[in-house]
Amino acid sequence: MSVMMRLEDVTLEYPVPRQYRKEDVLPSGIRNVSFEVNQGEVIGIIGQNGSGKSTLLKTMAGVFPPDSGRISTRGSVSLLAGVGVGFNKELTGRENAYLYGALMGRTKEQIDTLIDEIKSFAELKHHFDRPIRTYSSGMKSRLGISVATAFKPNLLLIDEVLGVGDISFREKSKKRVRNLMKSAGSVVIVSHSLSLLKEICDKIIVIENGEMAFSGNPSDALEFYGSLMNE
Amino acid sequence: MHRLPFIVASDLFRSRHLLRLLVKRDLNARYRRAYLGYAWAVLEPLLLAIVYTLIFTILVGRSDPLYSVNVVIGIIGWTLFSRSLTTSTKSLGSSINLFQFARVPKTVFATSGTLTNAALALISLTSLIPFFFMHDLPVTVSLLMLPLWLLLISFTGWAIGLMLAPISCKIPDVLNLINFLVRAGFFLSPVMWTYDMFSTRFGDGWHAVVAHLNPTVVPITGMRDAMLGGTTAIPSYGYAMCFGTAVLAYVFGTIVFERQAHRAVVNI
């Protein structure tokens, strides 16, 4: 099984704001994180709020460079972070889909062939041609998942948007992630929905205070996380 | 010679399809909710020119019939420079949410904003058409020089902005300083005054050398000459300072941006 991304001792600490520098405040971020994402693998990341999950995804996506350590990547990486993040609220769902496709390096013709599928998966109907600012957060998430998975990046990073929408859409999203795996794509998901992660992940990583506290099969990881919560 | 200025140029050329789409997106979004749409790009400089001409005529009593035309051109030129500068300086903060989708060169986002502003400046220039009829102005071959001056003025603003963008992430006060410079620069640039008015008042001594340190003096004067068929006597050192500033800003801007931008975004 080939490795899509390898993280070796990756550390990223946010600069401490000037007003807190004299206090004994530990910089937030991630410290000495090492793991591999294999082809076709789905990895879940769990941890308390502020533990460094989103920072880890942003570092993996190349938004932030690590202070130390190494990240080696094979193929395209795309991050879907938060509801409607990155979309222009004045543009329609269709226009945003074209923009996303172009950012992913797709030509207009390639996007043309996918646009109907994106529209139908997102279940937006006539709203697809209306500005995003008129969308509910559920609609924005559906569009985000639909667009991000349609362009099939080699590694898709999803931050907190998979567990949204009604039950039927959640089922569709899970199916879509599995299809992405089948087409040799890998997925890393950050979510607080433990049942969702247990269902679709091959492996779960627990992040605690910016460090990797556990990495293993979903059942063991959730048990470990549970014991951490009870401490 | 450093490689980074060439790398940036080649990155931008390779991303031209994306640049076109980002400019289209910005243009579409800019006036979408306004009833008058793109007409605002024409109305804004026109209304400002009316206000400034009235104030200036009341205060100074100037009766040059082409003064309002000169003010409109000055406003369009200065607006293009200041918007290119501020858009480029703020580009890392304003586009950080787009970096996550894919690994696209960050200069693309600074450049798309500048190209959008250049397109808006071109639209704004149509506000001058009525003046050509009102004052029976001739359409001369010098009009062909107009794109060069527009390109130069936005290029310089963009390049200076590239240099400031990573610094503004680490030191947010830079943005306040830019806001101040944009306001002060309006009066220090040939918007409400012309090159000839300055030369008549101060002559061509050290005042003129200092005035040419402002990178908008020559391009705005060039825009006026191109539109109105004039031939302002700008000394050769004035051209050298203007083009030299643009080249130096590009070289240093690209080097600073490429070296610092990646690291600087952590501060946003």
What number is the average pLDDT over the span B246-256? 96
Q: With a cut of 80, say whether residue A179 has pLDDT above it.
A: no
The number of beta carbons lying within 10 Å of the beta carbon of residue A61 is 25
Mean per-residue pLDDT for A156-160?
85
- pLDDT at residue B131 is higher than 90: no
Residue of A169, A211, A212, A216 lying closest to A197 (CA atoms): A216
SS3 A41: coil
The Cα B131–Cα B72 span in angstroms is: 10
Tell me the average pLDDT across B6-20: 91
Average pLDDT (A114-118) is 92
Closest CA to A149 of A172, A177, A168: A177
Mean pLDDT across A86-112:
87
Higher pLDDT, B213 or A182: B213
Give the pLDDT confidence of B56-69 residue by residue, as tens digits.
Answer: 777 777 667 888 88
- Contacts of A138 by beta carbon, 8 Å cutoff, 6+ apart: A164, A165, A166, A169
Min CA distance, B21 vs chain A (Å)? Answer: 7
pLDDT digits (tens, 9 = 90+) for B144-162: 999 999 999 999 999 999 9
pLDDT at B268: 74
CA angle A21, A27, A31 (to 5 degrees): 155
Strands (DSSP E) found in B74-193 = none
Q: Quick check: A101 pLDDT over 80?
A: yes
% of residues, chain B, pLDDT over 90: 51
Residues contacting B126, CB < 8 A, separation 6+ = B42
Q: What is the mean pLDDT of residues B96-109?
A: 82
Q: Which residues lie across from A158 on neighbouring strands?
A: A80, A189
The sign of the dihedral angle between the CA atoms of B120, B126, B131, B137 is: positive
Closest chain B residue to the Cα of A104, Cα to Cα: B102
Grade residue A163 by pLDDT with cuts at 50, 70 and 90: low
Q: Give the best residue of A94, A100, A103, A145 to mutate against chain B (max B CB count within 10 A).
A: A103
Q: Which ipTM value was assigned to this complex?
A: 0.76
pLDDT of residue B51: 86
| Contact at CB, B98 and A103, closer than 8 angstroms | yes
Please answer yes or no on whether B266 and A91 come within 8 Å at the CB atom: no
Nearest residue of chain A to residue B23 (CA atoms): A99
A134 touches chain B (CB under 8 A): no
Place of tokens 């200041």: B82
**Angle at Cα A116 formed by Cα A112 and Cα A117, nearest 5°?**
110
In the prediction, which pLDDT does B63 show? Answer: 67
Domain limits, chain B: 4-24+36-267
pLDDT given at position B245:
96
The predicted-structure confidence for B181-224, as pLDDT tens digits, reads as follows 999 999 999 998 999 989 888 888 888 889 999 999 999 999 99
Determine contact, residues B127/B134, Cβ cutoff 8 Å: no
**CA angle at B248 for the pair B243 and B251, rounded to the nearest 5°:** 130
Of A79-83, A86-90, B208-212, B229-233, where does mean pLDDT reach its minimum?
A: A79-83
Side by side, the strands of the sheet bearing A203-208 are: A77-81, A155-159, A186-190, A42-46, A203-208, A211-216
The tokens of A173 are what? 């999203």
Q: Are A86 and B101 within 8 A, CB to CB?
A: yes
Q: Summarize pLDDT for B156-193 with one digit per residue, the tens.
A: 999 999 999 999 998 989 999 999 999 999 999 999 89
pLDDT recorded at residue B2 = 74
Nearest CA among A49, A104, A112 for reference residue B98: A104
Are B123 and B203 in contact, with CB atoms under 8 Å apart? no
Q: Do A91 and B97 touch (CB under 8 A)?
A: no
Mean pLDDT of all residues in chain B?
A: 89
A52 contact partners, CB below 8 Å, separation of at least 6: A28, A29, A30, A207, A209, A210, A211
- Summary mean pLDDT of chain A: 86
Where in chain A does DSSP place strands (E)? Answer: 3-13, 29-38, 42-46, 68-73, 77-81, 155-159, 186-190, 203-208, 211-216
Query: Is B101 close to A64, i.e. CB distance below 8 A?
Result: no
pLDDT for A212 equals 94
Mean pLDDT of B226-254: 93
Query: Which residues lie below 8 Å from residue B238, measured CB to CB, with a gap of 6+?
Result: B208, B212, B217, B218
- Pick B52 or A10 by higher pLDDT: A10
The pLDDT score that the predictor gives to residue B114 is 94
Mean pLDDT along residues A167-195:
80
- Looking at the complex, does the CB of residue A147 fall below 8 Å from at least one CB of chain B? no
What is the model's pLDDT at position B45? 84
Q: Inter-chain contact B17–A102, Cβ cutoff 8 Å?
A: yes
Residue B1 has pLDDT above 60, yes or no: no
